[in-house]
């Protein structure tokens, strides 16, 4: 006999009406206490569970060994606990480590550890893909699939921290939101992830060791000021006139240099946090002495403490080239001549596509 179609329709309707499980990591401690009380358990169980979620970095309810088996089973039945996993890891010849992470729903993103003598910096992603399509960036060639949840960003950091301890014998010292995606277009989750990272119940890292990098979303830069954020801000400028910036960064058409200047001054007046300008040198595009002169003019209008001049890292299918050493030296010499605090940032992890602008989920 053929299966009863009405039976399958009823099953489908039943499944659709089943309440969706809530993400247990969306619950703060008071809410967890309320939940445990509601099921007739003790309040202190909430603290035990909370420690597993954030301090002990559990990956499943099964790992919560000081909770009874019955309680763990009940939690698994009522809540989602969706963590990310390491899908692949690559080691660069210069010591840089790149990991590709997989989400519970099968999407991929990348994070990087950059070790030096004084610090171990994690570069983390905030979105799966990116919507900004900067002309020089590998991630910009990808579609934006979705934002990462605050807990997924936190997972990246804890997994990279575990790798740092295992590979280099020391914990992460700094975190930069410079991986895949535009952090300020995932504003709430980025800020909530930083809240967890800096919390006593989380990693207890100083916000001054965290830098959020933006392509320049003026409205959200002002929001950072209104929210009195304590972390540092980096702005990807990459050209000092609207004509040139429009060509390589489409976001400039709606967030031009004048709007950025106003937003950054507003942000600084509210927070007094450090602002860094990022400037990738592209051969024949933005590396002339006239470009340097234009950059000095922008620098003087913004309360920035540093310009990072960055080596361009080639990306397959993208026509831009790295400026040669002589041009880079002339460019930075001009900036220093006019009292600009400038630093040349040498790329790390180029041989495994882990350098700035190269992240594109290559295993």
- 273-284: burial string, b at 16+ Cβ within 10 Å, e else: bbbbbbbbbbee
User: Catalytic one among 110, 182, 285, 311?
Assistant: 110
Q: How far apart are CA 56 and CA 201, in angstroms?
A: 10
Residues 6+ apart with CB under 8 A from 4: none
User: Catalytic one among 130, 134, 137, 356?
Assistant: 356
What are φ and ψ of residue 132, in 5° steps?
-85, -25
Q: Is-catalytic flag, 110?
A: yes
Q: How many CB atoms lie within 10 A of CB 289?
A: 12
Q: Is-catalytic flag, 356?
A: yes
- Strands 127-128, 97-102: pairing kind: unpaired
Beta strands in the chain (DSSP E): 22-23, 79-80, 85-91, 97-102, 108-115, 120-123, 127-128, 146-147, 174-177, 210-214, 232-236, 275-281, 306-311, 342-345
What are φ and ψ of residue 97, in 5° steps?
-125, 130
- Strands 342-345, 306-311: pairing kind: parallel
Nearest to 128 by CA among 102, 106, 146, 142: 146
Catalytic residues: 110, 356
């Amino acid at each position: 006999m053929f299966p009863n179609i009405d039976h399958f329709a009823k099953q489908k309707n039943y499944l659709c009406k089943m309440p969706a499980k809530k993400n247990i990591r969306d619950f703060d401690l008071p809410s967890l206490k309320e939940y445990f009380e509601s099921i007739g358990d003790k309040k202190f169980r909430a603290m035990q569970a909370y420690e597993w979620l954030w301090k002990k970095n559990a990956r499943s309810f099964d790992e919560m060994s000081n909770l009874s088996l019955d309680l763990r089973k009940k939690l698994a039945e009522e809540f989602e606990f969706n963590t990310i996993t390491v899908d692949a890891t690559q080691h660069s010849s210069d010591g840089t480590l790149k990991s590709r992470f997989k989400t519970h729903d099968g999407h991929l993103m990348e994070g990087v550890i950059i070790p030096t003598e004084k610090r171990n910096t994690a570069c983390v992603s905030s979105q799966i893909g990116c919507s900004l399509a900067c002309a020089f960036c590998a991630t910009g060639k990808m579609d934006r699939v979705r934002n990462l949840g605050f807990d997924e960003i936190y997972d990246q950091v804890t997994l990279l921290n575990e790798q740092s301890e295992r590979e280099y014998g020391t914990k992460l010292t700094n975190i930069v939101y410079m991986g895949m995606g535009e952090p300020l277009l995932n504003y709430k989750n980025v800020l909530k992830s930083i809240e967890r990272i800096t919390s006593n119940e989380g990693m207890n890292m100083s916000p001054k060791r965290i830098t959020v990098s933006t392509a320049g979303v003026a409205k959200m830069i002002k929001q950072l000021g209104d929210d009195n954020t304590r972390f540092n801000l980096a702005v990807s400028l990459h050209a000092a006139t609207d004509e040139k910036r429009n060509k390589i960064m489409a976001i400039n058409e709606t967030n031009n240099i004048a709007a950025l200047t106003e937003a950054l001054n507003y942000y600084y007046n509210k927070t007094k946090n450090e602002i860094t300008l990022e400037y990738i040198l592209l051969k024949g595009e933005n590396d002339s002495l006239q470009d340097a002169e234009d950059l000095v003019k922008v620098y003087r209008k913004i309360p920035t403490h540093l310009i990072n001049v960055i080596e361009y890292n080639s990306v397959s299918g993208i026509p831009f080239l790295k400026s040669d050493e002589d041009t880079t030296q002339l460019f930075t010499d001009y900036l220093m001549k006019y009292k600009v605090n400038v630093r040349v940032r040498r790329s790390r992890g180029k041989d495994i596509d882990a350098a700035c602008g190269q992240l594109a989920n290559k295993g």
